[in-house]
């Protein structure tokens, strides 16, 4: 048997929805290996989050809640995860910004092999094999980890989030582990951007734009996004040019999304951008270049001037909704 530990991501006492993709992985992997899975909640508000996490079928919920953990700092979190992970065969987290930052540090502390951004797994002979993208998602490979403890981050778009299973897991307190590196770091503040639009990684509909929209980025995309209750995304080129904030970047070096509907406006379709959105259920592309690579992955394509089409599309959607 092999047990699995999931590191929950908590913000202001609330469990991020992305965590439940990692929980789904742990549940299925533990079943395949004949073991159990636990969930680790770290940070201020972890006690509150434990009540929610306890309803997902874990053997137990481990909690590290302390005043010194008032904000996410890798140097403080990694020693706690490493200490808790020593008794597990696999330690996993979601491949969010925090997960990608935390798990390599934990792997170093445990001397463990690490498989980042996995999109699937299979169990053969009592061992797990992991599937992950390579070459900006143009190829997928399978790998095994040979160290006694294995670390993974789970791509949330490829694992259906776990649903509450009823019951309540046992809650167990774990100690905050001292670390010299943590003494050199001070958490100052965590600033969030408040928006009435959905979070980009959790949105069911995304309206994304490219550099071609230029300074009118929000003016062009905003009306349709508001009409559909959608999030707004951007290519790296649009962010680098200053037309959109960096937190909206989608792609290989940005966020990976898989909404029900993805509308690509003025996006050519470079492989780096496709790596972050081609898992979307339905893709609509609007581009005046009929040879744009985005049309190769689009379910629906419109060759037209986006500045003319977007207002007309917004009007049509409003009329259809009314």
Distance of CA 91 to the CA centre of its chain: 17
- Name the strand (E) or helix (H) holding 141: strand 139-143
DSSP class of 249? B
Q: Is residue 310 very low, low, confident or very high in pLDDT (cuts 50, 70, 90)?
A: very high
Residues 26 and 171 in one domain: yes
pLDDT tens column, 15-31: 999 999 999 999 999 99
Give residue 109's pLDDT.
96
pLDDT tens column, 82-135: 999 999 999 999 999 899 999 999 999 999 999 999 999 999 888 999 999 988
Q: Is residue 153 very low, low, confident or very high in pLDDT (cuts 50, 70, 90)?
A: very high
Residue from 245, 244, 242, 274 nearest 257 by CA = 274
Residue from 8, 194, 193, 169 nearest 98 by CA = 8
Residues 11 and 105 in one domain: yes
Taking 90 as the threshold, does the pLDDT of residue 312 lie above it? yes
Q: Is residue 1 very low, low, confident or very high in pLDDT (cuts 50, 70, 90)?
A: low
- Span 142-163, average pLDDT: 95
The percent of residues in the chain predicted with pLDDT above 70, rounded, is 99
- Span 27-45, average pLDDT: 94
Residues 38 and 85 in one domain: yes
Residues 164 and 222 in one domain: no
Residue from 303, 291, 289, 294 nearest 276 by CA = 294
Give residue 322's pLDDT.
86
Give residue 248's pLDDT.
95
- For residue 265, the domain's CATH number is 3.40.50.1220
Tokens of 293: 């690579």
Give residue 166's pLDDT.
79
Residues 153 and 256 in one domain: no
Taking 90 as the threshold, does the pLDDT of residue 143 lie above it? yes
Residues 229 and 262 in one domain: yes
Question: Largest alpha-carbon pair distance within the chain?
Answer: 61
- For residue 14, the domain's CATH number is 3.40.50.620
Give residue 125's pLDDT.
86
Residue range of the domain that includes 76: 4-183
Q: How many domains does the chain have?
A: 2
Backbone angles phi, psi at 244, to 5 degrees: -145, 150
User: Cα(59)–Cα(81) distance, rounded to whole angstroms?
Assistant: 17
Q: Is residue 180 very low, low, confident or very high in pLDDT (cuts 50, 70, 90)?
A: confident
- Higher model confidence: residue 47 or residue 196? 47
Residues 213 and 290 in one domain: yes
Give residue 216's pLDDT.
95
Tokens of 32: 């395949």
- Span 281-310, average pLDDT: 96
User: Cα(266)–Cα(127) distance, rounded to whole angstroms?
Assistant: 45
For the stretch 265-274, what's the b/e string if a residue is b when 16 or more beta carbons lie within 10 angstroms of its beta carbon?
bbbbbbebbb
Give residue 120's pLDDT.
96
Q: What share of the chain is helix, strand, coil (3-state, %, to 5)?
A: 35, 25, 40
């Amino acid at each position: 048997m092999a047990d699995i530990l999931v590191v929950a991501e908590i913000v202001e006492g609330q469990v991020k929805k992305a965590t439940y993709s990692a929980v789904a992985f742990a549940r299925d992997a533990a079943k395949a290996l004949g073991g159990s899975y636990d969930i680790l909640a770290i940070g201020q508000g972890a006690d509150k989050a434990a009540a929610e996490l306890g309803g997902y079928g874990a053997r137990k919920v481990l909690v590290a809640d302390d005043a010194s953990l008032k904000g996410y700092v890798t140097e403080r979190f990694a020693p706690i995860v490493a200490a808790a992970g020593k008794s597990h065969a696999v330690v996993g987290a979601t491949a969010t910004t925090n997960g990608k930052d935390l798990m390599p540090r934990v792997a170093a502390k445990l001397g463990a092999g690490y498989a980042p951004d996995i999109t699937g797994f299979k169990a053969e002979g009592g061992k797990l094999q992991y599937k992950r993208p390579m070459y900006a998602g143009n190829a997928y490979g399978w790998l095994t980890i040979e160290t006694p403890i294995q670390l993974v981050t789970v791509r949330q778009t490829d694992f259906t989030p776990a649903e509450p299973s009823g019951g309540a897991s046992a809650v167990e307190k774990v100690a905050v582990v001292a670390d010299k590196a943590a003494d050199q770091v001070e958490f100052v503040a965590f600033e969030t951007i408040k928006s009435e639009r959905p979070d980009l990684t959790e949105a069911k509909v995304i309206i994304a734009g490219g550099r071609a929209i230029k300074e009118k980025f929000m003016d062009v995309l905003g009306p349709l996004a508001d009409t559909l209750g959608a999030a707004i995304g951007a290519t790296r080129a649009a962010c680098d040019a200053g037309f959109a904030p960096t937190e909206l970047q989608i792609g290989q070096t940005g966020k990976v999304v898989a909404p029900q509907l993805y509308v690509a406006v003025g996006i050519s379709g470079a492989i780096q951008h496709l790596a972050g959105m081609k898992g979307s259920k339905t893709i609509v592309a609007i581009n005046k270049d009929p040879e744009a690579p985005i049309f190769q992955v689009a379910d629906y394509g419109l060759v037209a001037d986006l500045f003319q089409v977007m207002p007309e599309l917004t009007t049509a959607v409003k009329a259809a909704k009314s």
